[in-house]
């Protein structure tokens, strides 16, 4: 695991070399909470799944993935496709696609579920309540 963390640090250092303040901000956000760490470590998440494929087992199905899906990647926005025609329309949906790729849908669902559980615990919910939220997410995703 230590090697994976070193790789994440090296990747972040390379990606933010021209903007050291971004790296400092990312590190601060990742240190703040388990959810913050999950948000900032998508490549590490996928490396762990490659090393432990049994963690990513699940139903079949492929398609476009957000790649770094978590609860904070949802929000309200005005879609550009509606600009002008329906300027008063607001959509609540996924709003972060910079790490999108095609793959098994279950990988996004697993990452989102992990995010829900970590966020629930950070907000003071007990384990039972956190699991109930996770079950609601899975039930809603299946529809």
pLDDT tens-digit readout, 63-89: 999 888 898 888 787 777 655 666 677
Q: 34, exposed or middle or buried, with CB in 10 Å at 0-12, 13-18, 19+?
A: middle
pLDDT of 51 > 70? The answer is yes
Q: What is the pTM of this model?
A: 0.78
Please, which pLDDT band fits residue 52 given cuts at 50, 70 and 90? very high
- Closest residue by Cα to residue 79 from 87, 69, 67: 87
Please, which pLDDT band fits residue 14 given cuts at 50, 70 and 90? very high
Q: Average the pLDDT over 34-47 and give the result.
A: 88
Measured CA to CA in angstroms, residue 43 lies from 9, 36, 68 at distances of 11, 14, 8
Measured CA to CA in angstroms, residue 107 lies from 3, 8, 50, 98 at distances of 22, 19, 11, 16
Residue 143 has a pLDDT of: 52
């Amino acid at each position: 695991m230590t090697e994976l963390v070193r790789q994440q640090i090296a990747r972040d250092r390379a990606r933010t070399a021209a903007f050291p303040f971004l790296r400092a901000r990312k590190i601060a956000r990742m240190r703040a909470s388990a959810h913050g760490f999950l948000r900032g470590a998508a490549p590490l998440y996928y490396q762990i799944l490659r090393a432990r494929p049994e963690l990513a087992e699940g139903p079949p199905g492929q398609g476009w993935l957000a790649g770094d899906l978590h609860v904070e990647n949802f929000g309200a926005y005005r879609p550009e496709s509606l600009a002008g025609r329906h300027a008063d329309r607001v959509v609540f949906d996924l709003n972060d696609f910079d790490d999108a790729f095609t793959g098994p849908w279950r990988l996004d669902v697993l990452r989102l579920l992990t995010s829900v559980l970590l966020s629930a615990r950070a907000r003071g919910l007990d384990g039972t309540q956190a699991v109930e939220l996770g079950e609601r997410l899975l039930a809603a995703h299946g529809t």
